[in-house]
Structure 1
Amino acid sequence: MNIVSYRLLAGFFRLISWVPLRLLRVAGKLLGNILWALNGRARQTSEKNIQVCFPQMDKNQQSRLVRHSMQHLGITALEMAYVWCRSPQTNLSRIMQVTGQEHLSAAVAEGRGVIVLAPHLGNWEFIGPYLGLHYQATLMYQPAKRPALNKIIFDARENTGAKLVPTNTSGVKAQWRALKKGGVVGILPDQEPPVESGAYAPFFGIPTLTPTMTFSLLSRTGARVVMAYAKRIEGTGDFVLVIEPADEGIYSSDVQVSLAAMNAGIERCIMAAPEQYQWEYKRFKRRPDGNKKFYP
């Protein structure tokens, strides 16, 4: 790692982190409007995703949702500097309300381990400090491509008290061991996996390559599952952390039923704040028919 690059990047992030979150959101919204005007890959991918996921919307409704999602993309980008450079305690202070805590508490009390599924909705980085400080959770971590950025993110997540494990076989084994001990693990369930680690299941009615890791962990441990997301409170710099029980179908021994239920749970979370979802991600890149031209 280039130490100069690290210090410059870390210094820039620390500078941003001292700006109040409420002002960062104003700046992030402006950044999102610029991204919208540039009409680059992020906007084009968002337009395609929203078009196929919300066919019931007319063109104006779809366009409005795309623009709002681009604004939240800009907000997320600036919020990341804040959450990575502030203490876990400071980050938790931005969570004004936790709804559904009873679902997580009840699942933990069963002693079979708990899988927390956190879609890329709102700002998922605020969930880590909550799980780390309260439950010493085991979280998967995929290194960033830039070494300097990777160190910043890794140090921030490790500082929460969570145990970080890699997104490979050894990481899955570490999560399995944590669950067998009755622990809490966190998984981001809405990223496209390698073909050998996924199966196609409906997501907004579209066959989507879906990770089978959660199904495998459930099959081996009998753990419980909850959904969680940190939703922005409009007009503030704060969040509400929402915890919901997963669809019962996720516990099915049939992989197709389980994956469909997991995706249905993700959809339900998204519908609570669709403008705050990561629509710029190419979620439908690999098609079951081999079509490689889904996106522009």
Structure 2
Amino acid sequence: MRTMPGTPRPTFTRSLLSPRQWPAWLGAGVIWLIAQLPYAALLWLGRRLGALVLLTPSARRHIAETNIALCFPELDDAARTALVDANLRDIGLMLVEFALGWMGSDRSMARIPTVIEGLEHLETARAQGKGVLLVGGHFSHLELCARLVSQRIRISGMYRRMDSDVFEWAVLRARLHYATAMFDKDDIRGTVKHLRSGGTLWYAPDQDMRSKDSVFVPFFGVPAATISATHHLARMSGAVVIPFFHRRLPDGQGYALRLGAPLENFPSTDVLNDTARVNACIEQMVREAPEQYLWVHKRFKSRPDGQPPVY
């Protein structure tokens, strides 16, 4: 029997029913109920949740303020405050979009207005027998847009195991409903094998994971610890690297997804230069929809030697 790539479909065990798992099941149930809402109602709920996030004192505001001040020094105080407020409101939409991406029905997905550009770049790579790395960023709707693009192309993904056994079971099962395969972030061998066989892998390398494979390269002109996996995966597999951008359109118009032209002469022999090029692509994506980016992540928590912490 042919072994499927990636993490196997999770099995249900009796331990998932223990009383200590009941709060997680309650949370998963709430997420499932939210995902059943009509799209317009779901957006309405997301905006209400976003207003609540904005009004609730939290360390998230300080993190977002710090990141935005570092990355947009050209903005005055009023413009920065407006961007921070918009970003915190966007968290509410992020919560409901994750619910929809994980547990929404295929019928619900088909009803969401979606425009996809640049599929010809993917088809060209496939015609050449090459795997594809779809490289994107941590936008609030990344999970939903990964599922939306999967309606047109077969994709796999990289993920980090969840702390909760219940959510690991439920979310991995949901992802494997639409993804060809899901690879643990440490499963480099399986990922490379999948890409060598012509697979398409989506992943986002724009978080500070404090990994030994991270290098400091600019992100909005600020040294940012960035995993160099894009360079190494492309080098080991021969896959082409295609930027993948997505943004939420205003007034419930759905989502715009775009596959860019493959990065030329990638990978090179210079891991720093290649990783900086990836960051530059993501920075360009962020500038198109800055309020939809995950600014509440401590992107600059690791600092070069001799530089003070920023948070």
Same fold by TM-score greater than 0.5? yes
Q: CA deviation at 1:88?
A: 4.2
In structure 2, relative to structure 1, the CA distance for the partners of 1:82 and 1:88 (3 Å cut) is same
Q: CA deviation at 1:247?
A: 4.3
Moved more, 274-283 or 149-158: 149-158
In structure 2, relative to structure 1, the CA distance for the partners of 1:244 and 1:269 (3 Å cut) is same
Moved more, 152-161 or 246-255: 246-255
What CA deviation, in whole Å up to 9, does each residue of 1:162-202 have, x standing for no partner? Answer: 2111111xx21111101111211111111113331211111
4+ residue segments displaced more than 6 Å: none
Aligned-residue sequence identity (percent) comes to 28
Q: CA deviation at 1:246?
A: 4.8
Aligned to 1:203: 219
Q: CA deviation at 1:5?
A: 3.5
Over the residues paired in the alignment, what is the CA RMSD in angstroms? 2.0
Aligned to 1:150: 168
Cα contact 2:130–2:196 (8 A) shared by 1:
yes
What CA deviation, in whole Å up to 9, does each residue of 1:238-270 have, x standing for no partner? Answer: 212122125436432211110110000001111
Cα contact 2:97–2:144 (8 A) shared by 1:
no
Q: Report matched runs for 1:1-296 at 5 Å.
A: 2-3=16-17, 4-88=22-106, 90-130=108-148, 132=150, 134-168=152-186, 171-236=187-252, 238-248=254-264, 250-289=266-305, 291=307, 293-295=309-311
Q: CA deviation at 1:290?
A: 5.5
Cα contact 2:24–2:164 (8 A) shared by 1:
no
Q: CA deviation at 1:95?
A: 4.3
In structure 2, relative to structure 1, the CA distance for the partners of 1:112 and 1:124 (3 Å cut) is same
Q: CA deviation at 1:89?
A: 5.3
Moved more, 225-234 or 197-206: 225-234
In structure 2, relative to structure 1, the CA distance for the partners of 1:39 and 1:10 (3 Å cut) is closer
In structure 2, relative to structure 1, the CA distance for the partners of 1:233 and 1:98 (3 Å cut) is same
Structure 1 unaligned runs (5+)? Answer: none
Equivalent-residue separation in structure 1 for 2:77 and 2:195 (angstroms): 45
* TM-score where L is the length of structure 2: 0.87
User: What is the total number of aligned residue pairs between the two structures?
Assistant: 293
What CA deviation, in whole Å up to 9, does each residue of 1:204-242 have, x standing for no partner? Answer: 001111111111011122211111133111111621212
Partner amino acid for 1:25?
L
Moved more, 255-264 or 106-115: 106-115
Equivalent-residue separation in structure 2 for 1:61 and 1:231 (angstroms): 21
In structure 2, relative to structure 1, the CA distance for the partners of 1:93 and 1:174 (3 Å cut) is farther
Equivalent-residue separation in structure 2 for 1:249 and 1:43 (angstroms): 40
In structure 2, relative to structure 1, the CA distance for the partners of 1:103 and 1:25 (3 Å cut) is same
3-state DSSP of counterpart to 1:186: strand
Equivalent-residue separation in structure 1 for 2:96 and 2:297 (angstroms): 18
Moved more, 78-87 or 286-295: 286-295
Equivalent-residue separation in structure 2 for 1:24 and 1:277 (angstroms): 20
Equivalent-residue separation in structure 1 for 2:42 and 2:65 (angstroms): 25
Cα contact 1:133–1:162 (8 A) shared by 2:
no
In structure 2, relative to structure 1, the CA distance for the partners of 1:252 and 1:106 (3 Å cut) is same
* TM-score where L is the length of structure 1: 0.91
Moved more, 193-202 or 210-219: 193-202
Equivalent-residue separation in structure 1 for 2:115 and 2:205 (angstroms): 24
3-state DSSP of counterpart to 1:120: coil
Cα contact 2:157–2:201 (8 A) shared by 1:
yes
Structure 2 unaligned runs (5+)? Answer: 1-14
Cα contact 1:210–1:259 (8 A) shared by 2:
yes
Equivalent-residue separation in structure 2 for 1:294 and 1:58 (angstroms): 19
Q: CA deviation at 1:293?
A: 2.8
